[in-house]
Amino acid sequence: MDRYLSEQHLALRARVADFAREAVAPVARELDATSTFPWENVKAMGEMGLLGLPIPEEYGGQGLDYTSYILVVEEMAKVDASHAITISAHTTLGSGPILQFGNEEQKQRYLPWLAKGEVLGGFGLTEPGAGSDSGGTRTRAVRQGDHYVINGSKIFITHAGVGEIFTVTAVTDPDKGTKGISSFVVTKPTIDIPRCEALGMGHRPDIGYMDGVQSGKKEDKMGWRASDTRELLLQDVEVPAENRLGEEGRGFINFMKTLDAGRIGIAALSLGLAEGAFEAALRYTTGREQFGRKVWDFQQVQFPMADMATEIQAARHLTYHAAWLKDQGRPFSTEAAMAKLYASELAMRATLKAIQLMGGAGYSDEYPVERMARDAKVCEIGEGTSEVQRLVIARHLLREELKATAA
Ligand SMILES: Cc1cc2nc3c(=O)[nH]c(=O)nc-3n(C[C@H](O)[C@H](O)[C@H](O)COP(=O)(O)OP(=O)(O)OC[C@H]3O[C@@H](n4cnc5c(N)ncnc54)[C@H](O)[C@@H]3O)c2cc1C
């Protein structure tokens, strides 16, 4: 992987690995069991600069490349996917649209809070009737003088409860289909005010909260249980016109671009899960004895491990390559979809295989692989399902074929 990684990348990865081992590993099981958001660790991650890695320094971030961010998500997911998705959702989904599509005033206003991890951000696209078909947005924004009035509901929103700054889509012109969708920055206080005040992060009343933005009941999920997922309700929210991101009608296309970048993050998270499960299975099978020898000595154990190692290497190449393309300013949407598709399906296969190779121990929560398998499933769903990734890839194939035949 030398082609993609510098000394600086390796040093950052080592720093995150230390933090994951010392601060995350000891609490991951309990946080999962109790479905608790890891505020203390999130504060520490903010102090380490992990919540603003690819944000330029002028906006309070670390000014690092996308590959650095990908490495951090991967490393964290080897130990705990909930911590990894907190970094990922906050960075690409929460801060990304403001960085990429915001004007200077919006960037100056919101990014420093997000990049330093003073508050958490999120992204509201999915609705009850608009999942894979996210162009079917029903949330409505009606212009009234110098502001818009927004009404609607976004579901499955990461950080909807704990976060304070969100970018959401809403229809501004119902006659124009996806070209009538715009995006807006909305704000609300975190649900954990006393906790955040005690910690000195997560809550900034000077953001200026908007009436009518509220979070709903917490989802009781199969995986990513220490990550906060809720409905985000928008009821007669008066959003100043200056909080519209970009021009009217650009919301849908901009959110699709945000998801392209986000998908590399989910690929990295999936890769980390596969690696974490692989490492646990390797340690267990080389230590455990049955029939008077190490379980590892059976070829039926060695071969799936060899397959897993090969597939992990393939996923690493796909993921780092997609991040590299983005860092080079080159088109990367298809490669991001390929990386996410391959790595997320690998995470599912690898975690289930690791459970099998570890027998009853793998199935028990004494070991992390059963949690990893539950955490892997959503990687095939969030930020576009595997079917949607295949659609993105197939559309690209057709475009290329039509170009080739027209030439
Ligand atoms: C834990 C979690 C966190 C999330 N965080 C966020 C967030 O922060 N912000 C946000 O906006 N959303 C978020 N989501 C929502 C997520 O992006 C959607 O769940 C996802 O896009 C799928 O939409 P859906 O659930 O409505 O499934 P549906 O679209 O209803 O899909 C159901 C099934 O039909 C298939 N399908 C649909 N259309 C097609 C098609 N054209 N071809 C083939 N198959 C198809 C799908 O692949 C799937 O298998 C989150 C979801 C989860 C579970």
Q: What is the pLDDT of residues 240-276, one digit of tens each?
A: 999 999 999 999 999 999 999 999 999 999 999 999 9
Q: What was the pLDDT predicted at 407?
A: 82
Alpha carbon distance 146, 133 (integer Å): 31
Alpha carbon distance 360, 329 (integer Å): 47
Q: What was the pLDDT predicted at 3?
A: 84
Q: At 79, is the pLDDT very low, low, confident or very high (cuts 50, 70, 90)?
A: very high
Q: At 116, is the pLDDT very low, low, confident or very high (cuts 50, 70, 90)?
A: very high
> What is the arithmetic mean of pLDDT over 77-91?
98
pLDDT higher than 80, residue 92: yes
- For the CA of 224, the nearest atom of ligand 1: 1
The percentage of the chain sitting over the pLDDT mark of 90, rounded to a whole number, equals 99
CA of 195 to the centre of ligand 1 (A): 32
> What is the arithmetic mean of pLDDT over 108-112?
98
**Three-class SS of residue 38?**
coil
* Contact (CB, 8 A) for 195 and 266: no
Q: What was the pLDDT predicted at 2?
A: 72
pLDDT higher than 80, residue 4: yes
Q: What was the pLDDT predicted at 191?
A: 98
Residue 185 in tokens: 């920055």
Q: Give yes or no for residue 384 CB within 6 A of ligand 1.
A: yes
Q: Give yes or no for residue 381 CB within 6 A of ligand 1.
A: yes
Q: What is the mean pLDDT of the chain?
A: 97
Amino acid making up residue 184: F
The string over 184-212, giving b where at least 16 C-beta atoms fall within 10 Å of a residue's C-beta and e elsewhere, is: bbbbbbbbbeebbeeeebbbbeebeebeb
pLDDT higher than 90, residue 299: yes
Q: What was the pLDDT predicted at 229?
A: 98
- For the CA of 378, the nearest atom of ligand 1: 53
What is the DSSP pairing of strand 244-245 with strand 229-240?
unpaired
Q: Give yes or no for residue 385 CB within 6 A of ligand 1.
A: yes
CA of 384 to the centre of ligand 1 (A): 6
Q: What contacts 24+ positions apart, CB below 8 Å, involve 396-403?
A: 396/333, 396/334, 396/337
Q: What was the pLDDT predicted at 288?
A: 98
| Ligand 1 probe mutation, 385, 388, 390, most atoms within 8 A of CB | 385
Alpha carbon distance 69, 159 (integer Å): 19
| Ligand 1 probe mutation, 88, 132, 229, most atoms within 8 A of CB | 132
| Residue whose structure tokens are 């110098």 | 146
Q: What was the pLDDT predicted at 325?
A: 98
Is 383 tagged catalytic?
Answer: yes
Q: Give yes or no for residue 138 CB within 6 A of ligand 1.
A: no
If we measure between CA atoms, which residue out of 234, 98, 269 comes closest to residue 153?
Answer: 234
Q: At 270, which helix (H) or strand (E)?
A: helix 251-287
| Ligand 1 probe mutation, 134, 156, 269, most atoms within 8 A of CB | 156
Alpha carbon distance 265, 82 (integer Å): 13
CA of 262 to the centre of ligand 1 (A): 14
pLDDT higher than 90, residue 58: yes
| Residue whose structure tokens are 């590993």 | 25
Q: At 156, is the pLDDT very low, low, confident or very high (cuts 50, 70, 90)?
A: very high
pLDDT higher than 80, residue 1: no
pLDDT higher than 90, residue 311: yes
Nearest residue by C-alpha to atom 12 in ligand 1:
126
> What is the arithmetic mean of pLDDT over 338-364?
98
> What is the arithmetic mean of pLDDT over 73-99?
98
- For the CA of 132, the nearest atom of ligand 1: 29
pLDDT higher than 80, residue 43: yes
- Catalytic residue, chosen from 279, 383, 387, 400, is 383
Contacts of 198 (CB under 8 A, 6+ apart): none
Q: At 168, which helix (H) or strand (E)?
A: strand 165-171
Q: Give yes or no for residue 266 CB within 6 A of ligand 1.
A: no
Cross-strand bridge partners of residue 183: 169, 245
